[in-house]
Amino acid sequence: MTTAPAPAATVVSTAEAVSSRRCSAGEVVEDALAAIEEKDRDLHAFLEVTARQAREEAREVDLRVAAGEKLALAGVPFVIKDNMWIAGRTTTCASRILEGYRPPGDGTAIARLRKEGAVFVGRANMDEFAMGSSTENSSAGPTRNPWDTSRIPGGSSGGSAAAVASGMAPAGLGSDTGGSIRQPAACCGIVGFKPTYGRVSRYGLVAFASSLDQIGPLTGNVADAARVYRVLAGHDPMDSTTSAEPVGDPEAALDRGVKGLRVGILAEAQVEGLDPEVSADLARARRLFKEAGAQVREVSIPRAPAAIAIYYVVASAEASSNLARFDGVRYGPRRDDSSLLSLYVESRTAGFGPEVKRRILLGTFALSAGYYDAYYGRAMRARELLLEDFEDAFEGVDVIACPTIPAPAFRLGEKVDDPLTMYLSDVFTVPASLAGLPAISVPSALSRDGLPLGIQILAPRFAEETLFAAARAFERAAEFPPLAR
Partner 1 sequence: MVRHVAALARLRVPEEDLPALTHQLARILSYIDQLKEIRQEPRREPQMTATPLRDDVGVAGHGREALEANSPSLLHDHGAVPRVVGGAKP
Nearer to partner 1, 149 or 211 (CB): 211
* Beta carbons within 10 angstroms of residue 476's beta carbon: 14
Is 241 an interacting residue with respect to partner 1 (CB under 8 A)?
Answer: yes
The yes or no reply on residue 48 touching partner 1 (CB under 8 A) is no
Query: Contact, 58 vs 157, CB < 8 A?
Result: no
Of 164 and 356, which CB lies nearer to partner 1 in the complex structure? 356
Minimum distance, C-beta of residue 134 to partner 1, in the bound complex (Å): 16
The residue from 160, 180, 320, 433 that is catalytic is 180
Closest listed residue to residue 458, CA positions, set 426, 429, 420: 429
DSSP 105: S
Question: Measured from the CB of residue 104, what is the shortest distance to partner 1 in angstroms?
Answer: 4
Q: Considering 81, 133, 138, 157, which one is annotated as catalytic?
A: 81
Which helix (DSSP H) or strand (DSSP E) does residue 281 occupy? helix 276-291
Backbone angles phi, psi at 309, to 5 degrees: -65, -45
> How far apart are CB 294 and partner 1 at their closest, in Å?
30
Residue type at 277 in one-letter notation: E
- Whether the CB-CB separation of 36 and 121 falls below 8 Å is answered with yes
Q: Cis ω on the peptide bond leading into residue 139 (within 30° of 0)? A: no
- The question of whether 24 is a catalytic residue gets the answer no
Quick one: which of 325, 327, 357 has its CA closest to 342? Answer: 327
Binding to partner 1 (CB under 8 A): which residues in 271-310? 303, 306, 308-310
Outline where DSSP puts E strands in 82-159.
119-124
In 3D, which of 133, 115, 145 has the Cα closest to residue 178?
Answer: 133
* Between 30 and 414, CB nearer to partner 1: 414
DSSP strand pairing (171-176 vs 77-81): parallel
Site string for partner 1, 335-364 (x = CB under 8 A): --xxxxx-xxxx-xx--x----xx-xxx-x
Tell me whether residue 115 or residue 358 sits nearer to partner 1 (CB atom): 358
The DSSP code for 425 is: G
Give yes or no for a contact between 177 and 171, defined as CB atoms under 8 angstroms apart: no
Q: Which of 156, 175, 201, 425 is catalytic?
A: 156
Site string for partner 1, 5-34 (x = CB under 8 A): ------------------------------
- Rounded CA-CA distance 361/434 in Å is 21
Region from 122-130, 377-385, 445-453, 476-484 binding partner 1, contact rule CB under 8 A: 377-385
**10 Å Cβ neighbour count for 169?**
33
Does position 334 interact with partner 1 (CB under 8 A)? The reply is: yes
Answer yes or no: 156 catalytic: yes
Stretch that binds partner 1, among 125-133, 262-270, 372-380, 407-415 (CB under 8 A): 372-380
Q: Are 290 and 284 in contact (CB under 8 A)?
A: no
DSSP 5: P
Residues 403-422 that bind partner 1 (CB under 8 A): 419-420
DSSP-derived letter for residue 266 is: E
Q: Does residue 61 interact with partner 1 by CB under 8 A?
A: no
Stretch that binds partner 1, among 174-182, 263-271, 327-335, 406-414 (CB under 8 A): 327-335
How far apart (Å, rounded) are the C-alpha atoms in residues 304 and 410? 23
Angle at CA 149, nearest 5°, toward 9 and 185? Answer: 50
The site map against partner 1 for 171-210 (x = CB under 8 A) is ----------------------------------------
Size of the site for partner 1 (CB under 8 A): 57
Clarify whether 115 is annotated catalytic: no
Closest separation in Å from C-beta 461 to partner 1: 12
Contact positions toward partner 1, by CB under 8 A? 101-105, 211, 237, 240-241, 303, 306, 308-310, 312-313, 320, 324, 327, 329-331, 334, 337-341, 343-346, 348-349, 352, 357-358, 360-362, 364-365, 368, 375, 378-385, 387-388, 419-420, 423
- State the catalytic residues: 81, 156, 180
